[in-house]
Amino acid sequence: MKRIKTIVIVLLLLLVTNFITASAILKLTGGNIQEQGKIKLLEKYIQKNYLREVTEEDFFEGQLKGTVEALDDPYSQYFTPEEMQQFVEVTSGKFYGIGVQVAPGEDNLITVIAPIKGSPADEVGIKSGDKIISVNGKDYMATDMEEAIKHIKGDKGTKVTLGILSKESATAEVKEVEVVRDEIKMESILSETLEGNIGYIGITQFEEATSEDFIKAAENLRSKGVKGIIIDMRGNPGGILDEAVAISDYLLPEVDIVSAKNRAGEEIFHEKSDKEYMDIPLVVLVNKASASASEIVSAALQDNKRAVLVGETTYGKGVVQTLIPLTGGAGLKLTTSEYFTPNGVNIDGKGIEPDYAVELPKDIQGIGITHLDQDVQLQKALELIKEN
């Protein structure tokens, strides 16, 4: 099966660069004097009266962001160099730090949700529920969490000192813990067995190597003799298109997977699977938060009658974005095409209806294997797998 190649759109990059250059020339030469006058008047008023200091760079970045926001497209975005780096980290699933997930606590303290298994944070004993009070001697509250995270992250091999208030401590003593930063790999695949002979694979998002990890998990389950596999993509926001296509190819015989067209109606890619595939009964779990790449896999399996879908109608994101690097480390994420399921349907704004609509109880505590007694969607998936 051919994989979609990452294409550097030189022409588009030149157009964006030329646009920025043209904007600068417009300012120097006056351009539309009336419009430029409004902008300058607004900038001067803000600089004089706004509560905090604003720089010329802030105004320039704001104009670039505003240009993209004028498209009224929730998926297109101009990234500053810092935002571009963060976006790449999220899609790659790799970053340098200590490997801990945090969130604001009700006490306005930075609270550890969970350390990533095998990460530096896990190895030094940081646990779920612990509070991060300080970073390198400076105190932070939950309101300053983004700033604290910037200082927690860092180059591989460097050290960071955290002030930890342990949830297991009998006193309110803050203990300083030194952690050596390392490369952190977020796991996008969760794999388990249910009732001995049913496989379960959860896909949290589609990032680099997700398809490789999925295939390893599926082959491992098959080696254990499972009779069917439940693929859980509830809450999966999507990610890298290549990874969704690769997983679809692994699960499908020689059929259509997905195609896409640009504004002119020209087909820019059409992906098909090869003859080889994993022939085992499948059930896919989806909900309102299953979007983008997870919808591509779901539609490919459903349209080709390879699996049935259980849960709720999916999010409905049927468009594709191209990421264009800009000078200085900035970037542009722009919607450039819309995709179509094997049946030729564009699901944007509509979503995919499951074969079996199942609503979760309003008082449910959680979903997944650990909440099987409450997760009626997973229960239905188990029932259907057993029937097959």
Supply the residues annotated as catalytic: 292, 303, 317
Distance, CA of 312 to CA of 317 (rounded, Å): 15
According to DSSP, the β-strands at 159-165 and 175-180 are: antiparallel
Q: Are 108 and 141 in contact (CB under 8 A)?
A: yes
164: buried, middle or exposed (CB in 10 Å: 19+, 13-18, 0-12)? Answer: buried
Q: Are 122 and 116 in contact (CB under 8 A)?
A: yes
Q: Are 85 and 323 in contact (CB under 8 A)?
A: no
CA angle 114, 147, 139 (to 5 degrees): 80
Q: Where are the alpha helices (DSSP H) in the chain?
A: 10-29, 33-49, 56-69, 81-92, 120-123, 145-152, 210-223, 241-251, 293-303, 376-387
Q: Are 201 and 218 in contact (CB under 8 A)?
A: yes
According to DSSP, the β-strands at 282-286 and 308-311 are: parallel
198 - beta bridge partners? 194, 228
Distance, CA of 182 to CA of 45 (rounded, Å): 46
210 by DSSP, 3-state: which?
A: helix
